[in-house]
């Protein structure tokens, strides 16, 4: 019983991290049809901000991580994506691939590719007793933070003016512009929100692994990216759900698969992706009225 609950909590907390990452990717895809590989580097830069500011008060470190991710997000939007906004999705994809590589390799150039240890939020490593079951505090915190962010983002999108403009732009960007919605404002907001998500993921992920390295974002993004596809590109609840499912599935596969097959779990996940693309090309929750132009 204990083990089942522990595994489930583990699956939910990992699922939460991937859901947040998938949301960051899904948000950008929604407004500009760009699959942002470089989202991983937003997580990475926030991780290094944590490393750099380690020892300062925790809130200050968190603000630093956020600031670093935000600056980088706005910079890449301005420098790399804005000039080719009208390009086809395939070109955008290649471009984000290049941005991601550029940032990763630049980081390796300056700090080397070795992981660096950082004991961030050690207080969360302790075990707690909850209804007689021993659980790690960090996992509970991860679940709670993910849930709060999901609710917060939903609130933002549903009730604020900017949120409304973002949803309109995601459905039909040209029509939104005809009505006077500012493309730059909407896209910058999407990047800003995705950087907040990235910074939070970085904090939780670094606390969990205790390591920072130039490629840390890659694994998260690749899996989350799969989640966005499975959930339905262009649909935020779908992205969150897909990210959650894929994240949780990797943990469950890890526990449930026989040991010889365990190492192949990522292969299973990606075969699943190909199958989803073939049989449900719109994802689990298809986006309504995906239109590129008037």
Partner 1 sequence: MNSDGHTPARTAAAFSGPELLRRLWPLLCLVAIIVLIGIFAELAPTVVQRRITQGLIYLVAVVGLYVFVGNSGVLAFGNVAFMAIGAYVSALLTMSAGAKGIFLPDLPAWLQTAEWAPLAAAGAGGGIAAIVAFVVGYPLMRLSGISAGIATFAILVVTYVVIGNWSSVTGGQNSLMGLPIYVGPWTAVIGALVAVGIAFAYQESRSALLLRASREDEAAAAASGVNVVRHRLAAFVIGAFLSGVSGVLLAHFLGTVRVETFYLDLTFLIIAMLVIGGMGSLTGAVAGAVVIAALTELLRQAEVGVTIGGVSLAAPGGLGDVVLALLMLLIILFRPKGIAGGKEIPWPFRR
Partner 2 sequence: MIVAETTTEPLLDLRNIEVRYGAITALRGVDLHVKTGEIVAIVGPNGAGKTSLLSAVAGLVKPVSGSISLSGKSLAPVGLEDIVRHGIALVPEGRNIFASLTVEENLQLGATSRRDSEVNTDIGRFFSTFPILGERRNQPAGLLSGGEQQMLAIARALLSRPKLLMLDEPSLGLAPKIVEQVYVELEKIRDDGITILVVEQNAARAFAVADRAYIMSHGQFALSGTPADLRDNAGFDAAYFGVSMDSESRDGA
Interface ranges with partner 1 (CB under 8 A)? 33, 35, 80, 83-84, 87-91, 93-95, 97-99, 101-102, 105-106, 108-109, 218, 222, 225, 229, 233, 263-264, 266-267, 270-271, 273-274, 277-278, 281
Contact of residue 165 among partner 2, partner 1, none (CB under 5-8 Å per partner type): partner 2
The least distance separating partner 1 from the CB of residue 8, rounded to whole angstroms, comes to: 25
Asked whether the beta carbons of 22 and 240 are under 8 A apart, the reply is yes
Nearest to 168 by CA among 31, 25, 29: 31
**291 near partner 2 (CB under 8 A):** yes
Which spans in 33-88 are helix H? 39-53, 58-76
Contact of residue 177 among partner 2, partner 1, none (CB under 5-8 Å per partner type): partner 2
Counting every residue, how long is the chain?
Answer: 294
Asked whether the beta carbons of 232 and 58 are under 8 A apart, the reply is no
Run of H or E residues at 141: helix 137-159
Asked whether the beta carbons of 188 and 75 are under 8 A apart, the reply is no
Binding mask 134-173 for partner 2 (x = CB under 8 A): ---------------------------x--xx-xx--xx-
Choice between 178 and 261, CB closer to partner 1: 261
Measured CA to CA, the distance from residue 5 to residue 12 in angstroms comes to 10
- Provide the binding-site residues for partner 2, judged by CB under 8 A: 161, 164-165, 167-168, 171-172, 174-183, 288-289, 291, 294
């Amino acid at each position: 019983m204990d083990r089942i609950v522990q595994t489930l909590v583990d699956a939910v907390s990992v699922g939460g991290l991937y859901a947040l990452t998938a949301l960051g990717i899904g948000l950008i895809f929604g407004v500009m049809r760009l699959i942002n590989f470089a989202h991983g580097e937003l997580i990475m830069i926030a991780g290094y901000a944590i490393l750099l500011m380690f020892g300062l008060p925790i809130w200050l470190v968190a603000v630093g991580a956020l600031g670093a991710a935000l600056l980088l997000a706005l910079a890449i939007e301005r420098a790399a994506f804005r000039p080719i906004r009208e390009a086809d999705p395939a070109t955008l994809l290649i471009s984000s691939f290049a941005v991601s590589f550029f940032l990763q390799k630049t980081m390796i150039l300056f700090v080397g590719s070795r992981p660096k240890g950082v004991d961030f939020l050690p207080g969360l490593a302790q075990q707690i007793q909850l209804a007689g079951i021993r659980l790690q505090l960090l996992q509970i915190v991860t679940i709670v933070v993910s849930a709060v962010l999901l609710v917060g983002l939903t609130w933002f999108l549903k009730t604020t003016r900017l949120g409304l403009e973002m949803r309109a732009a995601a459905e039909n960007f040209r029509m939104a512009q005809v009505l006077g919605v500012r493309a730059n404002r909407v896209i910058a907001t999407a990047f800003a929100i995705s950087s907040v998500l990235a910074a939070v993921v970085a904090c939780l992920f670094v606390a969990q692994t205790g390591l920072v390295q130039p490629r840390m974002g890659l694994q998260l993004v690749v899996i989350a990216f799969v989640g966005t596809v499975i959930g339905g590109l262009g649909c935020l609840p779908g992205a969150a759900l897909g990210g959650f499912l894929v994240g949780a599935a990797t943990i469950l596969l890890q526990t449930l698969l026989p040991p010889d097959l365990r190492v192949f779990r990522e292969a299973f996940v990606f075969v699943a992706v190909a199958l989803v693309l073939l049989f449900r090309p719109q994802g689990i929750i298809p986006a309504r009225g995906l239109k590129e132009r008037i």
